[in-house]
Chain A
Amino acid sequence: MAVLELTNISKHFGAIQAVNDVSLSIEPGQVVGLMGDNGAGKSTLVKMIAGNFRPSHGAMQMDGKELILHKPAEARQHGIEIVHQDLALCNNLTAAANVFLGRELRRGMGPFRILDYASMYKRAGQLFAELKSETRPRDLVKQMSGGQRQAVAIARTMLSQAKIVLMDEPTAAISVRQVAEVLNLIRHLRDQGISVVLISHRMPDVFTVADRVIVMRRGRKVADKTIASSSPEEVTGLITGAIEQV
């Protein structure tokens, strides 16, 4: 059964039709590349899944149940996690502090609850180990490489039982070596049965790591096929409009 299913989703802002009648389903443990030019509607679509926008028309279902989101916190409660393009990290805090930001572990009773540093370091260390990342929980984020920073942002999504992780351009601003590191992180998420929606401009990344590619153009879904049955040339054609639809 699909973990997330969108049926005839549309979103318009006044006269502008940002997303037009899009249906798609995402299976557990699947990596889906979401591609399209600027203004194709990728971000709007993702923001509806993340609870930032409500769809104008259409319905979303999670595990077969109706999904209505009013704000991002509700998406989180349903197991939808986001890795923001700018990663949303605080440079002045440690890796562990960033992983637990807003969800700090505490010990003690009633009003006398204090931060549980030991448990947070330990759990963050476990998450980094699961991600096969060499990030250390006590290091300050400001001293980290782009790949390590990604690991911190991704570890954050694994704190609660995430079902879907939405990643917004995770490889846009990092070095070639770090890209490989991030793609590995995505594979580790998939291996744990988590679905990943990868929004990217970079063709090689999508073709390396994704199982499926969805292409959007002018608010419509113009292609939805397995990576094996597509090619970078075809996807480029679909993005630019040289190929109408498949």
Chain B
Amino acid sequence: MALTIDQPIEQKQQSLPARLFASQTFWVVIAVILACLFLSFATDAFATSKNLYNITRNITFVAIIALGMTFVIITGGIDLSVGSVLCLSSMVLAVTMHAGYSIEVGILASIATALAIGAFNGILIAYLGFPPFVVTLGMLSIARSLAMVASNNTVVFQFGPDHAKLLALGGGAWVFGIANPVLYMILLALITGFILRWTKFGRHIFAIGGNEHAATLTGVPVRQIKVAVYMISALSAGIAGIVQTGWLGAVTTNLGTGMELQVIAATVIGGANLAGGVGTAFGAIVGAALIEVIRNSLGLLGINAFWQGVFIGGAILLAVLFDRIRNFRRSE
């Protein structure tokens, strides 16, 4: 039977609401909205502009790295080194600027460091066949150690002649009073979404996550792409490090400790599959948002901060539970 034009159109119309309900990201968005509504009524402090400003800004550091992590996770890999890379990039920036160099030189050195680490991870994984978990676990240790070496384990809070510029970069609000980090996050999310949906590179990332063997057989440059995704992940950690340095105004060597787990949690809550082949930019942002809203609400509701881990862990399990239920239904 010949294919008529109506068929694909009809099919698309049918599947739009169905696809929405089947999407984990959609339910997480609903959860975030409900949580926000509930908190606006339950507490006076939530819906204030200051609190919202804080929440949106706090989301960004995890979210920016989650965007980079999304690339890695779609290929079926994992990057545990992002927290340490964030710290090292911040430290390289801080030390360079403290030594009297301009902000441009500092940022360049910081980005170059991040990219070099990403390339190192990627080459070990793609060309030498190391498991991503092991390589990036090693790098988690190495990068933080290097940050200590670079700073002699001191706190850096004076950034030389461009001190004010750096603080404005991370702490300012240049457009409509929206915190700068939020603007960077939105910009990076748009770029990530574009790459994943509209470029050959993005398509190949999904192919590698779906069936790496098939991707190799059909001529996809699997190794080069794998190196690229680990470089992107490290780059996102580097960018987050630079922005966070500007926001905090000081860098310590325990910056970003344990952040890799928050980042991975955000991507998974947002619908990315650790087995590879699934993930979106929007999901990464929404996942980061849910984590931050949970954290913020616990504080506002006066619940002991020690409970935070339970709630965030519960959110991870719940998000994946939805996915499992859908799969059970489909297979029946």
Contacts and interface: CB of A to CB of B under 8 A. Distances in A.
B222 to A, nearest CB: 10
A92 B217 CA distance: 17
Interface of A: prevailing SS: loop
Interface in B189-212: 197-200, 203-204, 206-207, 209-211
Nearest to A108: B198
A138 B12 contact: yes
Contacts of A103: 218-219
A70 B285 CA distance: 46
Given A93-B210, A101-B207, A84 B217 contact: yes
Interface of B: prevailing SS: helix
Contacts of B203: 93, 97, 101, 104, 115
Interface string A135-163: 01110000000000000000010000000
Interface in A207-233: none
A76 B219 CA distance: 10
B214 A90 contact: yes
B7 interface: yes
Interface stretch (A36-44, A57-65, A121-129): A121-129
A88 B213 CA distance: 7
B214 A89 contact: yes
B1 interface: yes
Contact of A93 (B2, B7, B206): B206
Given A88-B214, A101-B207, A128 B198 contact: no
B309 interface: no
Contacts of B7: 136
Contact of A136 (B11, B199, B209, B210): B11
A118 to B, nearest CB: 11
B1 A90 contact: no
B278 interface: yes
A49 to B, nearest CB: 15
B3 A136 contact: yes
Nearest to A141: B210
Contact of B200 (A88, A104, A121, A138): A104
B107 interface: no
A114 interface: yes
A61 B144 CA distance: 59
A90 B12 contact: no
B186 interface: no
B129 interface: no
A115 B210 CA distance: 19
Given A73-B219, A102-B218, A92 B210 contact: yes
Nearest to A82: B217
What size tier do the contact residues of chain B reach? Answer: 20 to 34
Interface string B7-24: 110011000000000000
Max count, chain A CB within 10 A of own CB: residue among B3, B7, B207, B209 = B3
Interface in A3-50: none
B8 A138 contact: yes
B306 to A, nearest CB: 39
A106 B200 CA distance: 8
Given A101-B207, A103-B219, A136-B3, A92 B213 contact: no
A92 B199 contact: no
A95 B280 CA distance: 20
Given A128-B3, A136-B11, A101 B277 contact: no
Contacts of A76: 219
Given A104-B200, A129-B3, A134-B1, A90 B206 contact: yes
Nearest to A128: B3
A89 B8 contact: no
B213 A86 contact: yes
A56 B218 CA distance: 26
B8 A121 contact: yes
A150 B211 CA distance: 16
B3 A91 contact: no
A91 B197 CA distance: 17
Interface in B1-56: 1-3, 7-8, 11-12
A102 B220 CA distance: 5
B259 interface: no
Given A73-B219, A101-B218, A88 B211 contact: yes
Nearest to B221: A102
A75 to B, nearest CB: 11
Given A101-B214, A104-B200, A128-B3, A138 B11 contact: yes
Contacts of A121: 8
19 contacts: A72-B217, A88-B211, A88-B218, A89-B214, A90-B207, A90-B211, A91-B210, A101-B220, A102-B215, A103-B219, A104-B200, A114-B199, A115-B203, A125-B8, A129-B3, A136-B8, A138-B8, A138-B11, A138-B12
Q: Which 5 A-B pairs have the closest CB atoms?
A: A90-B210, A92-B277, A88-B214, A102-B219, A92-B210
Interface of A: 72-73, 76, 84, 86-93, 97, 101-104, 106, 113-115, 121, 125, 128-129, 132, 134, 136-138, 156
